[in-house]
Amino acid sequence: MPPFFDSLVVFFLYVFLDSLILPIASTVYLAYMGRLHPPLLVAVLGAIATTAGSIAQYLAVRWLLAHPGLQQPWLASTRARIETLVTGAGHATFWALFVIYATPLGAGPLRLVAAAGGYPLTRFSAAIFLGCVPYYAVVAWVGATFKISPWVYAIVLVGAALVSVTVWLLRTRKAAS
């Protein structure tokens, strides 16, 4: 891969955008960076980037909900129920976020529900950061331990991006018809 991708700044920005907008193969990038930099550094920096991107998404959702004219009708009708569920299950929401981020499971839907339900931002952030660090440390350690060729990482990243775009296009086409 080009040296550009070896930079910790590029890594941070990628993981931030990955958690904010569209997750595409950040785990693969974590493993790749683990072979180049100390795994604990990669884990902590990745956890900070993921948490920051998640906070930005949380704030965007909260802003959207504060402007009723921008909402979809179904969201306005279910918002009260979501808020009640999240408020009544505060500890469960924390542990659910923690566990999802400590594993390779997708966290997007739960993150959006927590934001829509007004889950406290400090607890939201703590759950994500604390869940990311051990998972990212293991992934970075695997990257450091098993010296896989950078070309394999590049092929996997491009393949994941192509699969993601294809799935998105198919869903968009299906929704339009």
**What's residue 131's pLDDT?**
94
Q: For the whole model, what pTM was predicted? A: 0.78
Residue 54: closest CA among 1, 116, 107: 107
Q: Domain locations in the chain?
A: 3-176
In angstroms, rounded to a whole number, what is the distance separating the alpha carbons of residues 112 and 79? 12
Tens of pLDDT, residues 121-165: 999 999 999 999 999 999 999 999 988 887 787 788 788 778 878
Segment 65-78 mean pLDDT:
68
C-beta neighbour count of 106 within 10 angstroms: 10
pLDDT, mean over the chain: 83
**What's residue 126's pLDDT?**
95
